Amino acid sequence: MKLPILEEQFKEKEICEEFLGYCRKLRISPKQWFFQRNMTNDCYPAASSRKRRALQSQNGAISFSLAQNGETSSYTASKTLGACYSSGNLYILKTLENSADEIIGCAFIKNGELALDEEETVAAASSFIISDKKRSLVRMGSKICVFPDGVIFETGDGEIEKSVYPIETEITFDDFLLSTVVKNKFGNYEDICEYDDENYRIENNCVQQYIEESGTWVNKETMLKLSALKSDNMFEKLSVNDCVYINTEGSPGLHSDISGSVVFKKYDEYQNPQAYKILEKGEEEVNGADLEYIIFSGYIVHDISNKSYINASTFEIRQHLYNYQSDVGSLMILRRKVPDIKFAFESQNRIWACSGSGHEIYASSLGNPMNFYDFSGLSTDSYSVNVGTDGEFTACANYMGRPVFFKENAVHIINGSYPSNGGELDGLSYSVTSSSDFQGVEKGSEESLCVINNILYYKSNGGIIAYDTTAATVISDALGYEKYKNAVAGAVNGKYYVCMEDESHTPNLFVFDTELGMWSREDEISILQFLNVKGNLLFIRESDGAVFSVDRGDVLNSGDYEEEGMFEWECETGEIGFEYSNNKYISRIQLRMKLEGGAGASIFVMYDSDGVWRKKGEINSRGIKTHLIPIIPVRCDHMRFKIKGIGDAKIISFARILEEGGDSV
């Protein structure tokens, strides 16, 4: 009698003692998690819940009232637009609204309170663009520069008085005296009224002085002196080394040469193409009053045959320029300009910026964020360059000491140390290296750039990029096929935190451990901005502006500090059983975990992707233990497990006893 031969039933025990983080793909390793919430790789090879966060500042709305013109007006600083940490203080820029909920500008908040008093806050609001869009705040010394507004906030560190002032400033006045001056041996300025007398002449585009002792003509350094004749504090918005454009309005006006360039023209037909640097600023007595004057380089060429002159209603000007009499006045306009700036950052003690058009790159003069048009031929000058790649700029950053500007498909790197050396280009002068067909920064992800261990990380159209100046490598394959956008990132302790919106506009906070090369997913918090403060990483929650840290510790000492309580977490395996064609089932699982006091976990299973999670057990014991969870056998093609819990937990190992059945149910 022949008996049938029974084949041994397939049985396999899969033990996972090393967890490799998040991977959102169809087929993943048993050591990876298809989905995570509030998990981390900090305890590798174990999987664990993330560190508890801490509330650092509520950063709520600030309301106040102000008496103006006999009436009391109310104001509210509400929506957070950006933040900057400087000299131990957290400065936050908020929209400023009136009692009708209309945005009238912006206000700076310092450590939870108005950075300026109420009256100064309202007065400074008009310096900003009326908008609730996010701003770029760039720190340079004690100054915080706000772009694209072109506004500077002086934090008041040391002996400097706190204030807000726009970079772009225009001064218009009609009581002035403009004359060519020389400095005598006593250090005083002397006016030169005419050049055709026996002492001075113009030769080879230069003013020359006759030296009687030697009988020779020598070049004489001349300057222009612009004096205010009636208005007090006329030039208080300007400083030494500021570069200003000068123009006149009115008839007949002045038509003259300054250093070989036409500056003023009759009937306001010509806009001055050159900015002039203020060399000195002072006060002098005019008609019994102390009034300001400024000195800048150049000289006036009087064309007597064409009757070129300044015409105004003051005797002093007519006296200095041919005693010409007229009742028609003239206006003098001084303008310190700021270029069209889209993104900006600080590097090499300059503010570097790029335009909204996608062609111009700018740098301020050395140590001076107020001036982008100083072209005096010195190594401290401003700098500008036009690039020819297509598309708009999407981001910029200081990387390895070099300014780097990105488009979605291009990168531009500034090499060198200064614009020119005494007006001459040399091997250290600025130059641009451009690369097209490059995975640049995705539009809307300008806040995704972070440097970790000399590697620049950012969000491109193709995913998260690691860039080392030689290659741009995608490192986000584990995030799967979802298209993310609008990335905001920060970095601390070798980890790259990036918050991105998925296709359903849901925010996702991911963390990439650069040492392990593994991803983890935290939660769905929407983040406006990250900040590195005292070795911790802070972030601003977009919904209400509250400031949190990714780890515990009172960083800001604001009085709002509160540690996060127990939070929910979960991790989900990929599909189990794809590699076997027959039906199979799990007979039991073994889960080795460490739970802190009050923590607990539950085990769920899903069969054949039916969308139903079936609870199979709970774990509440404290400490490190191995838990055996029996599973009532259910034959299926494939299955998935989920561990969901609350409180601090570590998953040390996960074992599954898998048995294979026949080819039918």
Instruction: Kindly report, residue by residue over 551-569, the tens digit of the pLDDT.
Output: 999 999 989 999 999 999 9
pLDDT at 52: 96
C-beta atoms surrounding 646 within 10 Å: 19
pLDDT at 271: 45
Question: Average pLDDT, stretch 117-135?
Answer: 94
Contact present, 492 and 498 (Cβ < 8 Å): no
pLDDT at 509: 98
pLDDT at 236: 87
Q: Return the amino acid letter for 369.
A: P
Q: Which segment of 318-322, 446-450, 548-552 scores lowest on mean pLDDT?
A: 318-322
What are the DSSP E strand ranges found in 316-401? 330-336, 343-347, 350-354, 360-363, 383-386, 393-399
pLDDT at 348: 92
In the predicted structure, residue 308 carries a pLDDT above the cut 80: no
pLDDT at 300: 64
CA distance 327 to 314: 10
pLDDT at 344: 96
Q: List Cβ neighbours of 657 (8 Å cut-off, separation of 6 or more).
A: 11, 12, 13, 586, 587, 588, 589
CA distance 84 to 94: 12
Q: List Cβ neighbours of 228 (8 Å cut-off, separation of 6 or more).
A: 173, 175, 176, 234, 235, 286, 291, 292, 293
The mean predicted confidence, pLDDT, of the chain is 84
Question: Average pLDDT, stretch 642-660?
Answer: 88
Contact present, 388 and 407 (Cβ < 8 Å): no
Specify the pTM: 0.88
In the predicted structure, residue 207 carries a pLDDT above the cut 80: no
Question: Average pLDDT, stretch 543-552?
Answer: 95
pLDDT at 208: 82
CA neighbor of 40 nearest in space, from 21, 24, 58, 26: 21
Question: Average pLDDT, stretch 76-81?
Answer: 97
Band (576; pLDDT cuts 50, 70, 90): confident
219: Cα separation from own chain's centroid: 48
pLDDT at 237: 86
Q: Which segment of 75-84, 413-422, 556-565 scores lowest on mean pLDDT?
A: 413-422
Cα separations in angstroms, 487 against 53, 138, 528, 621: 21, 19, 10, 40
Percentages of the chain per state (helix, strand, coil), in multiples of 5: 5, 50, 45
pLDDT at 314: 29
**Which has more pLDDT, 242 or 659?**
242
Q: Which segment of 95-104, 263-272, 490-499, 651-660 scores lowest on mean pLDDT?
A: 263-272
Q: Return the amino acid letter for 571.
A: C
Going by their DSSP bridges, the two strands 600-607 and 536-541 should be labelled as: unpaired
In the predicted structure, residue 369 carries a pLDDT above the cut 90: yes
Band (315; pLDDT cuts 50, 70, 90): very low
**Which has more pLDDT, 31 or 209?**
31
CA distance 460 to 483: 11
In the predicted structure, residue 319 carries a pLDDT above the cut 70: no
pLDDT at 305: 41
> Alpha-carbon torsion 541, 546, 547, 549, what sign?
negative
pLDDT at 597: 85
294 burial level (CB within 10 Å; 0-12, 13-18, 19+): buried
pLDDT at 514: 97
Helix (H) or strand (E) holding 98: strand 89-98
pLDDT at 128: 95
CA distance 627 to 361: 62
Band (5; pLDDT cuts 50, 70, 90): low
Contact present, 232 and 289 (Cβ < 8 Å): yes
Cα separations in angstroms, 239 against 38, 230, 282, 331: 52, 20, 10, 21
**Which has more pLDDT, 425 or 351?**
351
Q: Which segment of 207-221, 424-438, 536-550, 643-657 scores lowest on mean pLDDT?
A: 207-221
Length of the chain: 665
Question: Average pLDDT, stretch 569-590?
Answer: 78
User: pLDDT digit string (tens) for 370-397?
Assistant: 999 998 888 999 999 999 899 999 999 9
In the predicted structure, residue 31 carries a pLDDT above the cut 80: yes
Residue 45: asked if its preceding bond is cis (omega within 30°), the reply is yes
DSSP symbols for 649-665: EEEEEEEEEEEE--S--
Buried b (16+ CB within 10 A) or exposed e, 305-314: eeebbbbbeb
Phi, psi of 546 (to 5 degrees): -65, 145
Contact present, 241 and 321 (Cβ < 8 Å): no
Q: List Cβ neighbours of 548 (8 Å cut-off, separation of 6 or more).
A: 53, 54, 55, 56, 538, 539, 540, 541
pLDDT at 357: 83
In the predicted structure, residue 336 carries a pLDDT above the cut 50: yes
Contact present, 32 and 24 (Cβ < 8 Å): no
Q: List Cβ neighbours of 68 (8 Å cut-off, separation of 6 or more).
A: 122
- Provide the token pair at 645: 């819990």
pLDDT at 633: 66
pLDDT at 259: 35
Q: List Cβ neighbours of 1 (8 Å cut-off, separation of 6 or more).
A: none
Helix (H) or strand (E) holding 122: helix 118-125
218 burial level (CB within 10 Å; 0-12, 13-18, 19+): exposed
Contact present, 497 and 491 (Cβ < 8 Å): yes
Q: Which segment of 315-319, 477-481, 496-500 scores lowest on mean pLDDT?
A: 315-319
Contact present, 355 and 393 (Cβ < 8 Å): yes
Contact present, 317 and 226 (Cβ < 8 Å): no
Cα separations in angstroms, 406 against 396, 398, 409: 6, 12, 8
Highest mean pLDDT among 177-186, 255-264, 637-646: 637-646
In the predicted structure, residue 304 carries a pLDDT above the cut 70: no
Residue showing tokens 């451009």: 434
Q: ∠145-92-566 over CA atoms, to 5°?
A: 140
User: pLDDT digit string (tens) for 213-272?
Assistant: 888 988 888 788 888 877 788 898 888 989 988 776 654 444 443 333 334 433 334 445
pLDDT at 3: 58
